[in-house]
Amino acid sequence: MKSILTFLVLMLFTITASGQQTNPKYDSILAKKLGADEYGMKRFILVILKTGSNETTDKLFIDSCFTGHMKNIGRMVEQGQLIVAGPIAKNENSYRGIFILNVKDMDEAKEILLSDPAIKENLLEPDLYYWYGSAALPEYLETSYKIRKMNP
């Protein structure tokens, strides 16, 4: 009985070990640079921006805040804090856009978001979530600059 149990344990170990093979294209230097775990993933902060509580109709004020919002997006990208940003089509949830932030935790994310005039003035309200995705995500930014004909 003991030998059968030993055989079954060894078979299970062999099957499990053979199912997880090392990637032959693995680049340990790049993985370390991007903060990847053994699966090539890492934790980011997903921000869903929704319509805020400020219901002002002052067009100059709104335009000024959203000009600052766009400048802030550019600043966050330059500092490596923002890797994805974009608007969401009109919807019943009042969602306006998303950010994926490349920062260490929620506190840092909240601090960074307060530098955005549209958020600071409650024209936009952020909902924050931890999100686990490919650590290579920041690498797409370089390619996006190469395929964009017009600058925003």
What local confidence, expressed as pLDDT, does residue 81 receive?
Answer: 96
Q: pLDDT band at residue 146, thresholds of 50, 70 and 90?
A: confident
Q: pLDDT band at residue 8, thresholds of 50, 70 and 90?
A: low
What local confidence, expressed as pLDDT, does residue 151 receive?
Answer: 73
What local confidence, expressed as pLDDT, does residue 16 receive?
Answer: 53
Instruction: Give the Cα separation of 128 and 99 in Å (integer).
Output: 9
> Is the predicted pLDDT of residue 101 greater than 90, yes or no?
yes
The domain made up of 26-147 is a member of CATH 3.30.70.1060? yes
Q: Provide the percentage of residues in the chain whose pLDDT is more than 70.
A: 86
Q: pLDDT band at residue 147, thresholds of 50, 70 and 90?
A: confident
Amino acid at position 28, single letter? S
Instruction: Give the Cα separation of 54 and 65 in Å (integer).
Output: 12
**Contact at 8 Å (CB) between 62 and 69?**
no
What local confidence, expressed as pLDDT, does residue 69 receive?
Answer: 96
Say what the pTM is: 0.80
What local confidence, expressed as pLDDT, does residue 22 receive?
Answer: 82
- Rounded mean pLDDT of the chain? 88
Tell me the mean pLDDT in the region 3-27: 64
Residue spans of the domains in the chain: they are 26-147
Amino acid at position 43, single letter? R
Instruction: Give the Cα separation of 31 and 137 in Å (integer).
Output: 12
Q: How far is CA 151 from CA 70, 89, 98, 146, 147, in A?
A: 12, 21, 19, 11, 11
Tell me the mean pLDDT in the region 119-123: 97
> What does the DSSP 8-state code read for residue 135?
T
What local confidence, expressed as pLDDT, does residue 117 receive?
Answer: 97
